[in-house]
A = this chain, B = another copy of it.
Amino acid sequence: MTENPTACLLIIGNEVLSGRTKDANLQFLAQRLGELGIPLREVRVIPDVRDTIIGTLNEVRRHFTHVFTTGGIGPTHDDITSECVAAAFGVPWVVHEPSRAKMAADYARRDPPVEFNAARLRMATLPEGAVPIECAMTSAPGFTMGNVHVMAGVPRIMQAMFDALAPGLGRGTPVTSATVHALGVFEGTIAEALEAVQGRFPALDIGSYPFYRAHGPGGFSGGGVALVAKGTDAQAVAQAAEAITAMLRDMGAEPVQGEPPAA
């Protein structure tokens, strides 16, 4: 089995760092990239500061197969992602003629027509050599430059851009996972036995996540643990889930594979 490609996500925006906006893109991309076998290995949230964006881009694009960015490609003065990507790659930032023409046609069709002013033209200005990412949600493109994929921050537009991008990404082996829940079980009680299971499946990530529900489905309340086996070897994942289930039964618990019991 060859090594999977890797992904890093840069969330660019003061509004996430200030807490004004709750990021809604991380989880979507994490799940989709896992399915494609391009696991997300790091996320950074950075401000709309030129030197920070350029420095971070140049650091992470050398360490990961793919870098995805969200945010900062609109028409206002705080939208500086695109010009920073050009600077990071050391190429000019130039009007991309097919994108300009597409946006001009879009704006002319609107009723009332939208003026294609200098601010909007910035959205058709791309690093030289970039390939636009087009989607049905907007005529203003995202783009791919080298291994950096630049997408909008607005979730529905980001998702449409990712859908357009995904078929062209080289895939790895999909990451699969299996979850075993057990109510009324403390992490500290099972830790040693769980570590032994991890030892039997060194290629998998086995994680333990306590949960507590004050008012769950069916009136359920109480706590327990969710034990998750994850990796690219689907057969080993299934075997690990069986081993975790057996371990919990041996300890007198009533494990449930999949979603936690409702009552």
Instruction: Give the most central of A28, A74, A78, A192: most B CB within 10 Å.
Output: A78
8 Å CB contacts to B: which residues of A124-143? none
Number of A interface residues in the complex (CB < 8 A): 63
Stretch at the interface among A164-172, A205-213, A245-253: A205-213
Is residue A91 contacting chain B, with contact meaning CB distance below 8 A? no
Quickly give the copy total for this chain: 2
Is residue A198 contacting chain B, with contact meaning CB distance below 8 A? yes
Contact B14 A230 (CB under 8 A): yes
- With A76-B194, A210-B154, A230-B14: A115-B189 Cβ-Cβ less than 8 Å: yes
Which A residues have a C-beta under 8 Å from some C-beta of B?
11, 14-23, 26-31, 34, 39-48, 52, 74-78, 114-115, 117-120, 123, 154, 175, 177, 186-192, 194-195, 198, 205-210, 212, 228, 230
The 10 residue pairs across chains A and B that have the minimum distance between CB atoms: A19-B30, A119-B191, A19-B31, A43-B45, A77-B195, A76-B208, A120-B188, A75-B188, A76-B191, A75-B191
